[in-house]
Structure 1
């Protein structure tokens, strides 16, 4: 026989399927009275639905139907391409863009001489009107003259292909679960205790030389990363 919280979860799951993203659920107390169970039982059901990314809780406001989780494959597919595959419109808000001498770590990561000029472009990425990630991309200035003169609100990879005839391949991606900084949480519209995914991705030329490093923070409640095994 199914546990009480599983019965509550099953019925709530069916109701959520008929609701729209952003719709608010009743409070724990209201649900407990409705299902004639304890608040603890309702809390377990809500925790399971939160873990499944069906709902999201916002401290001080309540529990809401979550946006459908978006899946990004760990390939070089751009954010724009990932949004297109999900039926969403991608756009970016440029937070900062500039050129400066590379730090020792950045120069090492891009295989550059110390203090070589590097572009740094930080953008807030949206799927439709929902903020999903913050990207901070760094590239060698000598390879991409006048990069900052391009429209950076679209796909950076598309700019590299169209303007510079550079077709990158994925060199590596490193993923970690983190909590956002106060600034990141504010930009993404989440609370500071909402887990996020940090991805450090490197793009390389055909000869294996790394020419792009992007550090991204993805919303953990709306984003999942798919890692598929390589053919053997």
Structure 2
């Protein structure tokens, strides 16, 4: 018998959070709830979810920023729920990587139907859990990088997040703003040079000669390009 799908509900309203959790548990899903983004990241670090149900309006990091960061690291399906039902909000949510958008208030049966549809779609199209290139292996779930010799390479959280963004968007020039947006959301400082520093460190750990890099190339006045097509795993 297949294991029950694991869902994380991110919702700052305790009444809605409790209601959604109860509905999904009744349907046989394993559910955990988080009141904000900080709590979500702690839960997700322990065991990757099969689906995230995400509110937009939250204290601290909002749902759109969380979705953007999550999508840079993972292709777990995301269902956004929001009282902001304007078409523009729906479009923004889908453009940054959400798989579906459900306006509040919603009918319980519709939430369950959308949940089933997203999980069914995921099962029919297995999610990319890792990537390999030139003997290197990236495991998105374990957040690890393994060298061609089979050794785990020590990466900071920021370095791994950057590697995840680059390997998920290969053969495409990403500006510093694109990368900062994926990693940090709207809170990033336009003059933040940390991306350049992390690229330099990541090249060193990937043994990518900074004088003539073959993996992470600098495109003058444009940004960075991951110059190989990884194999999905």
The TM-score normalised by the length of structure 1 is 0.24
Structure showing greater radius of gyration is 1
Q: Which has the higher contact order (CA 8 A, sep 6+)?
A: 1
Q: Decide which structure has greater helix share.
A: 2
